[in-house]
Every structure is written in C-alpha cells, then in structure tokens.
Structure 1
Amino acid sequence: MFRKMSKHVDFPTILDLAPFCAMDKLKKLPNVARGQNELLYSLFGIVEHSGGMHGGHYVAYVKVRQPVKPGDPRWWFLPKSANIPAPGSGDADVDSESDLSGYESGEGAAPSMEAPPGKWYYVSDSLVSEVSEEKVLRAQAYLLFYERVL
C-alpha cells in the first residue's frame, strides 16, 4: 500500500518562498522590508533515513557557522518584542561590525545570493565527521531545515 521513496530529490541551498506566499499579506508583515520581493531561506540541516517504512536508521547533516553577531540582518526577522542583542553587547572579543558576507544592507538580496559560509558535518550514532557540501547535496533527504536569511 504505502512505499518509501528511496531516491535522491534535488533541493536548493538557498530557497525563495516568496512565490508561494500571498504578497498582499507578506508586504504587511513588520519583518519584511518595503519593496522586498524575496523571502530567502538558507539550508542548515538535513535528516536522511536509510531502511524501510517499518525500520531503519536516521543520520543528520548539520551546517555549523560562526554565531550571529549583534546588528546582523538575520536578527531583523524576530518580532519587535523579542530579546534582540544590542550592538556591542555580548562577548568582548566580538566586534560591533556585522559580518554581512553574502548579505546586502537590508534593501534586498543580490540575485545570486550565496548561502552563508560554514562547515557541514555528518552526524550518526557514534560518528561525527566533516563532509563536503557536494556530499550533503547528494543526500536522500527525509527532512530539510532552512533558516530565514532575508
């Protein structure tokens, strides 16, 4: 009756959800900039399942990046009442300049926006190892995890 699909399905590292949103509602949200026509998300995790529907094994691929610094545009998506760190707060060794690599200044993303830099890791029951992004993109994804970046 039900069968598990066991094949690769392509998935992007940057996903634009705007084409799937009601733009009239989207433009009224407080965390969407005026004139913004993209809603970009970056891949940061994958769960892969091997086996059948009644048993098997799960592994994960996780992208590890530098912590988000105060002033980084990724804080802008939180509601205004959220506890957002002020620039200059936090660790003394973190400079107040935001690391905007891959981001524009709030007016929108460049058409060829790249995923934020980081290292990918394969995580299983008793093994954690660094892997290439190419290996991650060949995974037979069961679940995909994205974070909003614009």
Structure 2
Amino acid sequence: MNIFDPRTLSEPVYKALSDLRRPYEEAWQKATREIDKKIYYNHLKEQKNQAIELYTYISTWGLMRCKAEEKYLDKRKLGEPEVTRVEDKAKIEQYGKREVIQKYFSCLENLAASSDTKDLATDRGLDVLKGLQADEYLGLMGLGLELANEFSFWANAVYHDIKGDQ
C-alpha cells in the first residue's frame, strides 16, 4: 500500500525557492553600492510576490495563461540569447516573476511525471497544455493549484526578511 507523503509537494518547492533566492542574496551581500543592493533586494521582492500570487493567478486564469505569462515576461528581442549573469537578470524588470513561474512549471512537470506532461517546463509548455484531454488538464490543474499553494506558503518562509508589497 502506498502512503502519500505530504513532503512530496513541500520539498521541491522549498528547494526551488531557496535555489532562486541564493544567487541574488549572495550578490546583495557582495554589493558595495546602495543602488546595487536595492536592485537585488527588489529582485528578491519580485520573486517573493510572484510566488505568493501564483495560487490566485492560476485559480483565476488557469495554467495556460500562467504559461503564456512566462513567455510575456521574457523581455528578450528576437534572436537575443538568454541572460545568464545574476547581475544582468536582476536589472531586468519583472525577471524575478519569470524565474518563479519557470520553477513552478518545472516542479509541476516533475510531480506530474507523465509522458503527456513531458516538456511542460520548456518553450513547448503551451503546446503540451493545449494537447491534453479535458480530464487530464483538470487533473493537472488540481495538482497545479496544490503546488501553487505550497509556493505561496514557502515564499513567506524562504523570503521571511523581504518586506513590502505582499
């Protein structure tokens, strides 16, 4: 008999948010100018707020619109490479939101662990969602809402010292 372990949802979310926070916190600690510290702090605040808002967004608009939002938040122009340096990412408005949505879909893909949801966290994610049968989409939506609820909870724990706009 299999027993559901509630840590199945908590552990990947805690790790995802901790991993997202770490490089920006380290950059904040190394920054010598107040303007740079403010950029990193605001980026962390973006991450926290997006993680908290995921449940409301997904329950209102659904997974497809959330995945589309990830694309919208990609501020690159056609042909521009992905930004890789923490210093550059922190300066892009709303990039922290995009990072949280990417981590969310990565966690959801791993938890769903189905061949139908393979590539959910990639650029093909919208096509994956579009291709699901109605019952599969609704099931994924239920799992997605529970996962978003975990993101909301863990955001307050992981970003406990980041204040404002909550």
| Interval of TM-score (by shorter of Structure 1 and Structure 2) | under 0.3
Structure showing greater radius of gyration is: 1
TM-score normalised over the length of structure 1:
0.27
TM-score normalised over the length of structure 2:
0.25
Whichever structure has more strand as a proportion of its residues is: 1
